[in-house]
Amino acid sequence: MGARQICLMIKINGFPVGILNCYEAEFPELSRILAVKGAKLIVIPTAADTYWKMYNGQWTDVRYPDISKLLLPAFSYANNIFISYINHAGYEFLGKDFWHYEGNSTIVDPHGKVVLSANKDQATLLIADVVPKYYGPTHPENANYLRDRRPRLYEELLKTKVKFDGDHVYPSYPEGEYIYPGFPK
């Protein structure tokens, strides 16, 4: 699945909205693609839980990161856009298994400030005005991350063989097929 299918753009009453799904929100490149395509708001539905049972039956040792506080404010600021992160709250039970969801829904403004956050312990509806013209520049002398970027500097990001973690090679997938590494096929 290419960036065209992942970085979906729609217009709601003429307002440009980008959509990412769950784990996709954790990659800064995807928010940047949507911003470059003209998004003023990115909507991210998710079901991020605190810990979960993996396919091998073991529970994760590490708690899922709260990206609503760590990553999303930075992505909003860097791209001068609003982000609405919509996460499930509370517990879900299926047989002997259960999940506890973060409930960390949030709306972040183009200056990277959290406008609203949900109560983590209950389902919450967040409503905010999303009006880009209410937000001025974030830098002196009219600097702008989107306008001032230099795409040729990013050529290294497109390489499929990289040096981190030894000689890591990113898998290539047939068009329309994507399998998460480490998940059963």
pLDDT value for 174? 63
Residue 185 lies in a domain: no
Residue 165 lies in a domain: no
Residue 68 lies in a domain: yes
Domain that holds residue 32: 3-150
Residue 177 lies in a domain: no
> CATH number for the domain including 84?
3.60.110.10
- For the chain (185 residues), the mean pLDDT of every run of 10, in chain order, is 69 95 92 95 91 77 86 96 93 82 93 91 88 85 87 85 76 62 53
Q: Are strands 82-87 and 41-46 parallel, antiparallel or unpaired?
A: parallel
Rounded to the nearest 5 percent, the helix, strand and coil shares of the chain are 25, 25, 50
Residue 159 lies in a domain: no
The tokens 């911003």 sit on which residue? 35
DSSP 140: G
pLDDT value for 180? 56
Residue 99 lies in a domain: yes
Count of domains forming the chain: 1
Cβ–Cβ < 8 Å for 139, 105: no
Residue 32 lies in a domain: yes
In angstroms, rounded to a whole number, what is the distance separating the alpha carbons of residues 112 and 124?
A: 21
Residue 71 lies in a domain: yes
